[in-house]
Structure 1
């Protein structure tokens, strides 16, 4: 899915990340009809070639965004790309210092602007799994992720120990 992360699949479908699967399906169907190779038979070869390319692009975007797990993975990769930034991180916050919201299943930390920094348990677990898959088990003692404030432009680096128990694991052991 690395190639997909380079291209904004939501933009390919002319939609946004907040759109429901039904809205995405509607956009996909419109674009698939517009660019389907069978509908472009009478045009010039460059026009037909563009149509086929566009149709394949739309179809690939739909295949990823229509499935809940691949869409979640794509959204995580997309967010990770968005969080790569050129400006400095305001501070480092330890996961243990963040407040755990059981209902939302998210860690929160208040920003000085009144907004907040939020990290879901799923994001923490995904970061750990991704590092394991990439073989980043070198001598690192901790994991980290950069999180932007939901209100202002500040960002923090959220860090946690490498071998911490996740909330899900703690619940299973009870």
Structure 2
């Protein structure tokens, strides 16, 4: 599903995310008939038709299954959100100033404002990611992060920190 996630599967079928499974099936069937290799015969368009048929078939296989479609929609939405909220730079948590009384990390913005993230947000994100990693059985040292907006301007940064995980050897 990784390669298919790069393309908009709804666009491949000429559909929209609000279409029902029956509407998607109808659009799939029309395109499958149009681009099926048996219908194209030995024409010069056969090669591009086969490629288009395979794209349509792959899109249908993902969007016709309720669980795969839900997962694809979540990935699609995450890509849209990422595109709508550009990150101007990356800042390490260690480079931020820690105010122990307020329990907040701050970093100065070039506009004179500040980026701030609370210790609570860092802890919550760390715990959430540890749970995700445990479900995926990942045992690596990874960067964690959150996107933070400036309190004065429209700039945003990704605040990152390392999460150290102890590798457990199975004997």
Relative to the length of structure 1, the TM-score reads 0.53
Question: Structure 1 unaligned runs (5+)?
Answer: 96-124, 147-154, 158-174
Cα distance, 1:69–1:10 mapped onto 2, change above 3 Å: same
State the number of aligned residues. Answer: 120
Question: Structure 2 unaligned runs (5+)?
Answer: 89-114, 122-127, 149-155, 159-171
Instruction: Report the aligned-residue RMSD.
Output: 3.9
Q: For 1:30 and 1:11, locate their aligned partners in 2 and report how far apart those are by CA, in whole Å.
A: 14
Does the 8 A contact of 2:87 with 2:147 survive in 1?
no
Displacement after TM superposition at 1:133 (Å) = 2.1
Alignment map for 1:17-166 (pairs within 5 Å) = 17-44=17-44, 47-85=45-83, 86=86, 129=132, 132-133=135-136, 135=138, 138=141
Does the 8 A contact of 2:25 with 2:60 survive in 1?
yes
Structure 1's consecutive aligned runs of 4 or more residues displaced over 4 angstroms after TM superposition are: 90-95, 136-140, 142-146
Cα distance, 1:27–1:80 mapped onto 2, change above 3 Å: same
Q: For 1:63 and 1:144, locate their aligned partners in 2 and report how far apart those are by CA, in whole Å.
A: 34
